[in-house]
Amino acid sequence: MQKKLAIIGAGIAGLLTAREVLKSDLVDECVLFDAGDFAPGCSMGSTAVINRSGIQRGLSPLGDLLVDSYFLAVTYFKENPQPGVEFVPHLHLATESKRHSLFKRFSHQGVGELPAPFADLFIDSGPVFEDQTLLIAPEVFLPRLLTELKTDARFRFQKTLVTQITPAGDVTYASGESQNFSRVILCLGGSRVAWRESFFKGFDKRDLRVTQEVTGFALSYSGIDLGESSFCFSLDQKNFIYRSQAREVWLGGTGQKRGELCPDWIELKEQERTFLNFLKPHYKAKFLEASKTVRGGLREKGQGRQPWMAPLSDRVFEIHGLYKNGYTLAFSAALKASEWLKS
């Protein structure tokens, strides 16, 4: 009997899950479904950083998962160097509101003042904490990963909207046709909430955790030259990301809590103002002249901000709630899905 796997959702989690599964002989066929514009996820419009923000194992179960996933990603990219992926310095500014939590996270790494090149760009505003971040260019890495998957004869990429699944592995398409798969792995992202009632047919509602769909948006500036080295600079939950090769700066992702596919312009403007006030005058002028673009999409927060990586039935496994750590946690999620297939 052929072992056919359906992975529904072609964002970072779905792509990494397909890669992990195809490393072994767990399946005879792996079909990755992409809903395209029907379900605008965050993977392509994300700030796409992989980090642990100084967290060490032992602080919390979520912290342990984040640390483990971060090192899975580091190992993968060191063994498989990729265009559009950089290891960059990441500085975290200890504002009054976050100083206690940052001291708790970074106590093993010490505290210092702004080092170069940050000291040349930003106004020195107190203690900072430094670690390393993996900076991903989604428009380069994701298509390249898909191209790599297509070299495996067992892999098939299908641009089809899936409208319903059952615990037995039946998958229904928008055309009304259905197909049964030996196993199904769901990587729905932000579209999960919108489809929950009609999408999951025959599942025990107690297994379908109530989650929250939120939007994630960032401001992108093009034509900004801040030197030859990329970096990240964080202020509380907001990120200032400089991609040297593209000469781009991305400002954070919003903290918007509503499930609306539109940016919160007031919040974006406030983030912009906050970061510009930390820049020295010469560099601040560059941003005032640069062209700006808003990027983003839907993401799924999970219940109590806890990610879910577990089976819904003997034949259906779900990954959701990766939220702000989507690129980092996707590595652990892919590994857990692969281990489930072995069981």
| Whole-number pLDDT of residue 327 | 87
The per-type count for the chain, helices as H runs and strands as E runs, is 9, 17
107 CA to centre of own chain: 27
Read out DSSP for 77-130?
A: HHHS--TTEEEEEEEEE--TTTHHHHHHHHTTT--B-PPTTHHHHB---S-EEE
- Give the CA distances from residue 172 to residues 115, 297, 302, in Å, rounded to whole numbers and listed in that order: 55, 25, 25
| Whole-number pLDDT of residue 60 | 83
Place of tokens 């996707």: 330
Q: Which domains does the chain have, with CATH numbers?
A: 4-342 (3.50.50.60)
Q: What is the phi-psi region of residue 173: left when phi exceeds 0, alpha when psi lies from -120 to 50, beta otherwise?
A: beta
For CA atoms 68, 73, 74, 79, give the dihedral sign.
positive
| Whole-number pLDDT of residue 203 | 86
In tens digits, what is the pLDDT along the chain, a chain of 343 residues? Answer: 579 999 999 999 999 999 999 999 999 999 999 986 666 667 777 778 898 877 778 878 888 888 999 999 999 999 988 888 999 988 887 667 666 767 767 765 555 667 766 777 887 666 677 788 999 988 899 999 999 999 999 999 999 989 899 999 999 998 999 999 999 999 987 666 655 667 888 887 766 665 666 667 788 899 998 888 898 888 777 788 999 988 999 887 555 555 555 556 677 788 888 888 888 888 888 888 888 888 776 666 666 667 888 899 999 999 987 867 778 999 999 999 999 999 8
Please choose, from the candidates 289, 20, 277, the residue with its C-alpha nearest in 3D space to the C-alpha of residue 145: 20
| Whole-number pLDDT of residue 49 | 86
Backbone phi, psi, residue 162, to 5°: -90, 130
Please choose, from the candidates 38, 33, 27, the residue with its C-alpha nearest in 3D space to the C-alpha of residue 14: 33
| Whole-number pLDDT of residue 206 | 66
| Whole-number pLDDT of residue 82 | 87
Read out DSSP for 43-66?
A: TTTS--EE--TT--TTS-HHHHHH
172 Cβ contact partners less than 8 Å away, ≥ 6 residues apart: 162, 163, 164, 165, 178
Interstrand relation of 213-222 and 291-300 (parallel, antiparallel or unpaired) = antiparallel
Which pair of tokens denotes residue 104? 């708790």
| Whole-number pLDDT of residue 130 | 78
| Whole-number pLDDT of residue 302 | 61
